[in-house]
Chains A and B, each alone.
Chain A
């Protein structure tokens, strides 16, 4: 088995680009009202003046949601890749650091413990943004603690365990909160955990894009350092890589991405774990020069298709996006693994 040739790789890039375009248009066209591709193109170009309601749906709902899906899918995949490389563990995902647990705890404290808190929290904080703010505070508190710990210790295994402990700790607190909370607030929290791509204001999409953009840029700038980490710590040090600095950059990039996504969209799991593996298997490499761009695009495609599938029941019923990603992603990973018969980082 030799690795794919240059032309084979280029062909796969081209297919990936076409697939992205198709998934993006498919995502915009599906929903309570089906819109044809011609109408989408006309509307985007500004020709479609006859049907203002279609124009409105496309510009106000569909395009923002599709852009959110692209940012979320790309962000989760790249942060999953970073975590797998950092922890040298194929089971790592964007949430192993515990940032999503922190976000969940923040959201839970707000949604289920709100009655207790409302006496202390200023009124303006209880508006539309509050779940997002609570989740952000939660995720960035955990990120801050993890980053502080990382500057003290070199051992990544200890970091992984600390992340897991944060996860257990916050889910314990969430369970206790859930036990004592009312039916309505529990339901609100459960809906939040399903994830929702469609509720974001343009300003929120901007923030999400900024954070995911910074995180992705940090990863791209550290492509070479990430590749040396595939050799193990001894070799990375011998090549002049400052492990503490690189670990910290990776943690900050992942924290910014996973933290902002969980806070704004909800704890969407799975994608971040699966997409890097899919890219490794298709491109048959662990080289970050290939894995970073392909994970970004593949993640976006995955999220767009998952979101399109979640629209399938039609009209008012939308499947939880969190369930769809795993439902449709797991069989793909299993199928690829059985075909290739082995997996490597």
Chain B
């Protein structure tokens, strides 16, 4: 069940004008892998995620799942295939972790029906997998940022979709929690067979840990394994005129300070 971008151009419609941000992409997302989307602010990372989520219409081409354009898939079907973790704050945090995770079962409920055995099992499994079972009765507003992020991932996990799309899941976290979240994402790929697409500003981390990277830069895009992208010198193109360069021996970005210049 491959996820594909076919001739996809993303951007905004401002009245009748089209504002292209990135593309055209022609990419087939490899299944059961961890895929990082990198690029500067404004390069189109969030726009891409909104396009996958059908909150924004593509300007050209489309997102295809299993040979079918997402446009032709009902909202409910899509919700059973792709789950999302956003950076937006909730309208209400006055709910328990359990209640939040339980909302992941919405696509499987009819009207005001009660959750089935399958639903309760999925919720329980999502809580256990993210090590949140002890916090199940805690309110969201009482959680730390790291715990909150895990709770959102648990909610997406309860949705039981083959694809998970995460918008900057590590943006507010310290090193410890970043590492913890990263190993959780890896575990989702290896143990739960999920295909995870996530955006990040932490390029070094993506180079060292992601299976594939989609790099967006000034309308250009590069998609490959980190190793191949290093060989092609893509990372040095990301900051061509800035005081940053990519050192391929250490896989690190280094700053050119005035002295060495």
Contacts and interface: CB of A to CB of B under 8 A. Distances in A.
Contact of A286 (B76, B92, B113): B92
A94 B137 CA distance: 32
Interface string B110-122: 0111000000000
Nearest to A344: B94
A3 B91 contact: no
| Residue among A230, A235, A280 with most chain B CB within 10 A | A235
B159 A345 contact: no
A42 interface: no
Contact of A3 (B78, B79, B92, B137): B137
A232 B76 contact: no
B89 interface: yes
A88 B91 CA distance: 6
A222 to B, nearest CB: 8
A223 interface: yes
B113 to A, nearest CB: 8
The 9 lowest CB-CB distance pairs between A and B, nearest first, are A240-B79, A344-B94, A345-B92, A240-B76, A238-B84, A88-B91, A240-B75, A286-B94, A230-B92
Nearest to B86: A234
Interface string A258-298: 00000000000000000000001000111101000000000
B18 interface: no
Contacts of A240: 74-80, 106-107
17 contacts: A1-B139, A2-B137, A222-B111, A222-B112, A223-B112, A230-B90, A231-B91, A232-B86, A235-B88, A237-B54, A238-B53, A238-B86, A240-B106, A241-B75, A241-B106, A287-B99, A344-B94
B92 A344 contact: yes
Contacts of B91: 88, 229-232, 345
A344 B139 CA distance: 11
A345 B94 contact: yes
B28 interface: no
Given A230-B90, A344-B94, 15 more contacts: A220-B112, A222-B111, A223-B112, A224-B109, A224-B112, A227-B103, A229-B91, A234-B84, A237-B54, A238-B79, A239-B106, A239-B107, A240-B77, A240-B107, A284-B94
Contact of A231 (B74, B79, B103, B137): B103
Contacts of A230: 90-92, 95
Contact of A285 (B90, B95, B138): B95
A230 B79 CA distance: 17
A286 B78 contact: no
Contacts of B89: 232
A221 interface: yes
Interface in A188-242: 220-225, 227-232, 234-235, 237-242
A237 B55 contact: yes
Interface in B93-148: 93-96, 99-100, 103-104, 106-107, 109, 111-113, 137-139, 141-142
A221 B111 contact: yes
A3 B93 CA distance: 13
Given A1-B142, A228-B103, A239-B159, A287 B95 contact: yes
Contacts of B79: 238-240
A234 B106 CA distance: 14
Given A242-B75, A286-B95, A224 B111 contact: yes
Nearest to B138: A2
Nearest to A284: B94
Contacts of B47: none
Contacts of B58: none
A222 B111 CA distance: 6
B217 interface: no
A229 B76 CA distance: 16
Contacts of B84: 234-235, 238
Given A221-B112, A223-B112, A285 B106 contact: no
Interface in B31-81: 53-55, 74-80
A21 to B, nearest CB: 26
Contacts of B106: 224-225, 227-228, 239-241
Contact of A234 (B55, B111, B137): B55
A220 B112 CA distance: 7
Nearest to B53: A238
B132 to A, nearest CB: 15
Contacts of A238: 53, 79, 82-84, 86
Nearest to B139: A3
Contact of B53 (A2, A231, A234, A345): A234
Interface string A1-21: 111000000000000000000
Contacts of B103: 227-228, 231, 235, 239
Interface string B132-171: 0000011101100000000000000001000000000000
Contacts of B86: 232, 234-235, 238
Nearest to B137: A2
A295 to B, nearest CB: 15
A284 B95 CA distance: 9
Contacts of B111: 221-222, 224
B96 A3 contact: yes
A231 B139 CA distance: 14
A153 B75 CA distance: 19
Given A2-B138, A224-B112, A240-B76, A232 B94 contact: no
Contacts of A285: 94-95, 99
